[in-house]
Structure 1
Amino acid sequence: MLNVFDIVKLTKIDHKEVDNNQMVITDGNGKPNAILTELLNDVISNLRIFVDMASVYSVDDLLRELAEHTPLPEDVLEEYEKVLREPIYDLNFVPKRGQVEVVVGEG
């Protein structure tokens, strides 16, 4: 099963890596999860600044890169890991908003 990291790694919009505001985490009913979305947006912001995603192939690789190249404390990295390992059940592309809804809970 794919997880949130896989979607961040693989998804492109107009052939560009997604920005932090282009991914929204929802439950199976389409209700946005503000806490997980905010956490994922923070992860994406930091990785776009500090990490070359072409050389990262797993959550462990990404966390190691962030630990080496950012001043993020261990507890923040642990929270990042939780959201990145979250299994996904579905994807919904919203072209009008240029967003990808990542569904992490079953409906």
Structure 2
Amino acid sequence: MLNVFDIVKLTKIDHKEVDSNQVVVTDGNGKPNAILTALLNDVVSNMRIFIDMGEVYAVDDLLRELSEHTPLPNDVLEEYEKVLREPIYGINFVPKRGQVEVVVGEG
């Protein structure tokens, strides 16, 4: 099963990597999850600033790179890991808003 990291790694909008404001985490009914969305947006922001995603192929790689290249404490990296490993049940593209909704949990 794919996880949130896989979607962030693979998804492009207009041939560019997704920005933090372009990814929204929802449940199976389409209801946004504000906590997971905020956490994922933080992860994506730090990835875009500090990491070359062309060199990262797994959650463990990303966490190691963030640990080496940012001052983020271990508890923050642990929270990042939780959201990145979250299994996904679907993806919904919202072209009008330039967003990708990552569906975690079944409806």
Amino acid at match of 2:78: E
Identity of aligned residues (%): 87
1:87 paired residue number: 87
Q: Aligned partner of 1:7: which letter?
A: I
TM-score of the superposed pair, with normalisation by structure 1: 1.00
Quote the residue 1:38 is aligned against.
38
C-alpha RMSD of the superposition? 0.2
Which letter does structure 2 place at the counterpart of 1:44? V
2:80 corresponds to 1:73? no
> Per-residue deviation at 1:25?
0.1
Q: Deviations over 1:44-93 (max 9, x none)?
A: 00000000000000000000000000000000000000000000000000
Moved over 4 A (4+): none
Which residue does the alignment assign to 2:18?
Answer: 18
Aligned residues: 107
Unmatched segments (≥5 aa) in structure 2 = none
